Structure 1
Amino acid sequence: MGMTLNDAIIASLDEIKEPTTYMQVYKKIMERNYYDFRGGKTPWSTVSASLGNFIRNRDSRVKRIPQKGGNFTYFLSKYESEISITALEVVDNVSTTAPAQVSGPNQGFDERSLHKLLSSFLKSTGVLSKTIFHEQSNAKDSNQKWIHPDMIGIRFLNLHTQTSQAFLKAINRLGTFELLAYEIKKEIKTDYELKKCFFQAVSNSSWANYGYLVTFELNDVLIDEIKRLNQAFGIGIIRLSSNPFESEIVFPAKYKELDFITIDKLCKINPDFERFVEQVEKYITADSRYISALGTELTNFCDSFFSSETESATYCKQKNIPLDKLLEDNGVF
């Protein structure tokens, strides 16, 4: 199967790296023969419309900058730190309305099959994540069931020079990274389900800088109560999409200091968690000569992720995860 138009756009932006116009993206697609427009009369207009859809659908991979005359330039989010601050001063806000999901029961897929969707979304926002298998924990009693998050993640502060990186590490190594915890659910449809899942997330993320409750289906009637709980306890909410790059942080989590007593306890009882902490420690304490190799090692240790929406759509079909209606409308399947 060849590239979808969206994948071709992502590949082109990845090569260009800096903010660019829809016409330059179109030219790059044609230059690389990434996509067959099948004789369309104005294929550049199709590219322009598709770039707009990335923004309207809250796709985490792409951002845009308003230009004079109502035009925009587009770039990949992962290159944002390398783009001049002046160029990024005005970035437009996007709609927070979630894309419609295909209706139908979701009982045909396993909750853990959502992990790869989440890891793909997190990777696009600069977070490396790792599934924590509670079955491997040494603590088998039921009193420990709300101490394990489903997934953990790490985000590194992106500094451009070795001098600034070394200076920050010398002052405070904790300032170079943030640890995150994720509790994942297939659906949250009632107030009772929300309360139960939310306080499970509170318990499971007590040790982390940020804690999130992640769900594939969320009843919008609960938004006001979620906002209240978010403000009171600081747990963020992520609405997961079958196109992981269009997943939505409904409410961001609030920062808190790391709890090293709980981290120590999790290291003792769960080998997955302990190995993750070991990998992070090796990376943040490494000599600059070994940073690149250890970064690759950490990435390979963490959960795998999708590089395109075509891959994620194929995976969802295999796992019986309902596809977003937008994926079907765009002809991915």
Structure 2
Amino acid sequence: MAMTLSDAIIKCLDEIKTPANYMQVYKKIVEDHLYDFKEAKTPASTVSALLGNFIRNRDSRVKRIPQKGGNFTYFLSKYESEISLEALEVVDNEPKYNSVQEPTTIYGFEERSLHKLLSSFLNSSGILSKTIFHEQSNSKDSHQKWIHPDMIGIRFLALHTKTSQSLMKAINRKGIFELMAYEIKKEIKTDYELKKCFFQAVSNSSWANYGYLVVFEINDILMDEIKRLNQAFGIGIIRLNANPFESEIIFPAKYKELDFITIDKLCKINADFEKFAEHVEKYVTADNRYVSALEKELADFCDPFFLSETASKAYCIEKNIPVDNIPEESKVS
């Protein structure tokens, strides 16, 4: 049986051992006669797309390292311990071939375009969320934006009877909901970027029950350090997917008590945050007769979200967010 292109890519990476870009992999496939590209119009791009597909499908065999200009190098996970730290920072200076177009990368879209994807993922988990625009705050101090999360979320405790709901409200109103803070990034590719983004998330979520760093594209090389930081500081990590329903919490956040002094400060300087707090207060203190109406009012105030993969895919294409598609010519056996 003839070797598939995916198998040929794995074989080449196994023989190369060190990080290689898609063109290097393509050239070795051709030189070693591992696959016949006669039906592929742009064979190098096909290799590039399939390499990206290994990453998007969370294939444990393959990892990649971001390079300048939105490019990547790829290697097999089993050789990770043999790769030097210097190699992780190498910039690909190999001449580009005019006949080959680089695949769409994550650099071509606005970070805030990810908010609707995150709100969709959170909504599927029973969390209502709201974007907080720090530039609309009335504070002149630029450092104050380090207390603003990109998004905030609320999850209500599932109490099924009116009696238990009333009892919880009477005893401890804080106990019927949890507040989350989310710091969102398009990509994190180096240890320096990880530290900067992580401690921004620590600062911006100091008031909340849970704090999360949300990343669309993250270098798998950093996972050990992410685990250490998560255990030390309790910030959770969410890997966001173009299909929001395939997003995942890589490391959960640790619970902490609400900091009402910082909440009060945020309410003073940001109208959206204050409005959110008002909606929550009205909901948790309302008579049961008005709960449904106030829940709808809160939901309408919060960010919109997708109900289907089709809608989210169309949105990603419109916003230039990479989707988990590969060219037709790469669907070969």
Q: Take 2:229 and 2:103, find their aligned partners in 1: how far apart are those partners?
A: 28
Question: Equivalent residues in 2 for 1:22-171 (5 A)?
Answer: 104-171=104-171
Amino acid aligned to 1:268: K
Q: Aligned-pair distance for 1:103? A: 5.5
Instruction: In structure 2, list runs of 5 or more residues that go unmatched.
Output: 1-55, 65-101
Amino acid aligned to 1:128: L
Q: Name the TM-score, length of structure 1 as normaliser.
A: 0.68
The question of 1:207 aligning with 2:207 is answered yes
- TM-superposition CA deviations, 1:175-195 (whole Å, max 9, x none): 000000000000001100000
Q: Take 2:276 and 2:144, find their aligned partners in 1: how far apart are those partners?
A: 20
Q: Which residue in the other structure is 1:217 paired with? A: 217
Q: Take 2:305 and 2:145, find their aligned partners in 1: how far apart are those partners?
A: 27
Q: Aligned-pair distance for 1:140? A: 2.5
Instruction: In structure 1, list runs of 5 or more residues that go unmatched.
Output: 1-56, 59-94
- The answer (yes or no) to whether the contact 1:98–1:248 under 8 Å persists in 2 is no
Q: Take 1:148 and 1:328, find their aligned partners in 2: how far apart are those partners?
A: 43
Q: Take 1:242 and 1:131, find their aligned partners in 2: how far apart are those partners?
A: 19
- TM-superposition CA deviations, 1:52-105 (whole Å, max 9, x none): xxxxx99xxxxxxxxxxxxxxxxxxxxxxxxxxxxxxxxxxxx99799999542
The question of 1:249 aligning with 2:249 is answered yes
Runs of 4+ in 1 over 3 A off after TM superposition: 95-104, 325-329
Q: Which residue in the other structure is 1:190 paired with? A: 190
Q: Any idea what SS the aligned residue of 1:145 has? A: helix
- The answer (yes or no) to whether the contact 1:243–1:327 under 8 Å persists in 2 is no
- TM-superposition CA deviations, 1:99-143 (whole Å, max 9, x none): 999954212100000000000000001100000011110112222
Q: Aligned-pair distance for 1:173? A: 0.5
Q: Take 2:155 and 2:223, find their aligned partners in 1: how far apart are those partners?
A: 27
Q: Take 1:325 and 1:194, find their aligned partners in 2: how far apart are those partners?
A: 28
Q: Give the total of aligned pairs.
A: 238
- The answer (yes or no) to whether the contact 2:128–2:302 under 8 Å persists in 1 is yes
- The answer (yes or no) to whether the contact 1:134–1:270 under 8 Å persists in 2 is yes
Q: Take 1:260 and 1:327, find their aligned partners in 2: how far apart are those partners?
A: 51
Bigger shift: 318-327 or 254-263? 318-327
- TM-superposition CA deviations, 1:217-240 (whole Å, max 9, x none): 011110000000000000000000
Q: Any idea what SS the aligned residue of 1:165 has? A: helix
Q: Take 1:234 and 1:142, find their aligned partners in 2: how far apart are those partners?
A: 26
Compare CA radii of gyration and give the structure with the larger one.
Answer: 2
Q: Name the TM-score, length of structure 2 as normaliser.
A: 0.68
